[in-house]
Structure 1
Amino acid sequence: MRIIHSLSELRAALKGEASTVFVPTMGNLHEGHLSLVREARRHGGPVVVSIFVNRLQFLPHEDFDRYPRTLARDAEMLEAAGCDIVFAPDEAELYPVPQVYKVQPPAALADLLEGEFRPGFFTGVCTVVMKLFQCVQPAVAIFGQKDYQQLKVLSAMAEQFAMPIQVLGAPTVRAGDGLALSSRNGYLGQTERQEAVALSQALAQLAQGARVPGSSLAALEQAAADGLRERGWMPDYLTLRRRNDLLPPTDAERLAGEPLVALGAARIGQTRLIDNLEL
């Protein structure tokens, strides 16, 4: 496995390669990331994993400065998982001048849910992923389904720009108690870690009521959020949406079996966690 820091070296390493499989990350890796690498291996081409903490997707009050940078540890894990190239540029390499050209995703998809509570987040995500796609030029790119809305936004971006890249989602990896694996789980204290599984449990409860005749979507969502608040959480949203466009389903759609997803974001202590459950 090679660790590459410069774009020129990356392009030289991948010159003439038409089947590259790409896994973008911000590092501080866990088993969820490694599952993406193992999935990438199944596609047959060289596997490139990027490690870059992207300033553009952090709001001023968020954790950009304290986000863990663990390149040496990450590289050992990636080599064991079958990665071929780690692309780990610094900011000066990826943004040699201020990134004033940006990708603006449509408000209908990007300004709700995460976009409502983190304004500009998806502009930062789309911009860095577009740039990384140009650097790596993969045939396939793999993202985790834990970031459900992000996967939707990036899939639509690749389609609208007619990019010759197959964007795929891989299932969320969970701890034994059901907590979705996340780099930010490392911020949790012992008591918070034990409590953190309550988010996935709240989403499961929301999903259980989704198909019940006579149920109220607003009441179901309110009960899920109130249940977390009573446990000391600060929810941003717990909601049921259509999978295809992330808009609220009608009562008729819920009862008729429309593919749905329960999504949640909530803060426990100083740590904000997200999760989702398809139904």
Structure 2
Amino acid sequence: MKIFSSITQLRHYLDFYRRKGDTIGLVPTMGALHEGHGRLVNEAVKSCNLTVCSIFVNPTQFNNPDDLANYPKQIEADKKLLAAKGCDAVFLPTVDEMYPDEKLGLAINFGQLEQVLEGEFRPGHFSGVGVVVSKLLNIVQPDIAYFGQKDLQQLAIINRLVKDLSIQTKIVAVSTVRESSGLAMSSRNLRLSKEEKVIASELYQAMLELKKSILMGVATARAIFETKEKLNELEGLRLEYLEIVNAHTMDAITDLSASENVSICTAAYVGKVRIIDNLYIKQED
């Protein structure tokens, strides 16, 4: 497995395989890898001749300096996981390599899509995501890039980005990987205590119950209200939002027939750690 910190060196390496006609897959990450990331790499290795994984904690997508400072880092463990999964190359750039002139302040506006849910609570977050993903897709120029479904709104943002900028890379979404309790695997879970993990898993259980209620015919608004009430009663959990949305536009909906892709999306603080999750009610594919 090759390790690169230089954009120029990585491009030179990839050009050799591209000239051979090899298919290149990209798995963008911020490190602190877990089996959810492992599943993304598995999919890339299975479908592509060459798999590249990037590890870069992107400062421009953090609107909370403490969250950036506390983001877990475990580079050596990450390398071992990637090597075991069959990753071919790891891109480990510095901030200076990715942003040689921070004063330029490049931003991307995704309109309504970035103003709801995560966008409402994390202003500027999706602009940072859009910029760094654009850079990574331009640097690697992969045939396919793999993203986890756990970050559903991010996935919608990236699909919009690729479509609007006419980027040729195919975006593949990979289902959320969960712990035995149902808690969605996340790098931030490393910051949760054992007790907090139990509390955090209640988010998934609440979404399962909400989905069941709606499919049994309970009115959407009533089902959401009752679920919020239960979550607000949980000690140690502070709910930020719980909505049922069109999974492509993130618009809140009450009529399930209005879209072929409908998901529950939620976010909450457990202690000092912010947890996000989602669960499809209807999924076209």
Same fold by TM-score greater than 0.5: yes
Q: Identify the residue that residue 223 of structure 1 maps to in structure 2.
A: 226
Most deviating of 121-130 and 192-201: 192-201
1:41 aligns with 2:45: yes
Structure 2 matches for 1:1-279, cutoff 5 A? 1-16=1-16, 17=18, 19-98=23-102, 100=104, 102-213=106-217, 215-232=218-235, 233-250=237-254, 253-254=255-256, 258-279=260-281
Most deviating of 5-14 and 56-65: 56-65
Note if contact 1:26-1:52 (Cα within 8 Å) is conserved in structure 2: yes
Shift of 1:146: 0.2
Q: Give the share of equivalent positions with the same residue, in percent.
A: 38
Note if contact 2:246-2:253 (Cα within 8 Å) is conserved in structure 1: yes
For 1:169 and 1:76, the matched residues in 2 are separated by 24
Most deviating of 30-39 and 9-18: 9-18
| Structure 2 counterpart of 1:276, one-letter code | N
For 2:83 and 2:98, the matched residues in 1 are separated by 23
For 1:271 and 1:77, the matched residues in 2 are separated by 24
Aligned residues: 276
For 1:61 and 1:210, the matched residues in 2 are separated by 39
For 2:105 and 2:118, the matched residues in 1 are separated by 22
Note if contact 1:241-1:249 (Cα within 8 Å) is conserved in structure 2: yes
Unaligned runs of 5+ in 1: none
For 1:124 and 1:183, the matched residues in 2 are separated by 19
Shift of 1:228: 1.4
For 1:257 and 1:15, the matched residues in 2 are separated by 42
| TM-score normalised according to structure 2 size | 0.92
Listed one character per residue, the Cα deviations across residues 209-261 of structure 1 (whole Å, up to 9, x for unaligned) are 22344x433332222222112112111111111223221224xx326885310
Residues 86, 216 of structure 1: CA spacing in aligned structure 2 closer, same or farther, 3 A cutoff? same
- Pairwise CA RMSD: 1.6
Unaligned runs of 5+ in 2: none
Partner SS for 2:181: coil
Partner SS for 1:267: strand
For 1:139 and 1:103, the matched residues in 2 are separated by 25
| Structure 1 counterpart of 2:231, one-letter code | L
| Structure 1 counterpart of 2:95, one-letter code | E
| Structure 1 counterpart of 2:6, one-letter code | S
Moved over 6 A (4+): none
For 1:239 and 1:152, the matched residues in 2 are separated by 16
Shift of 1:105: 3.5
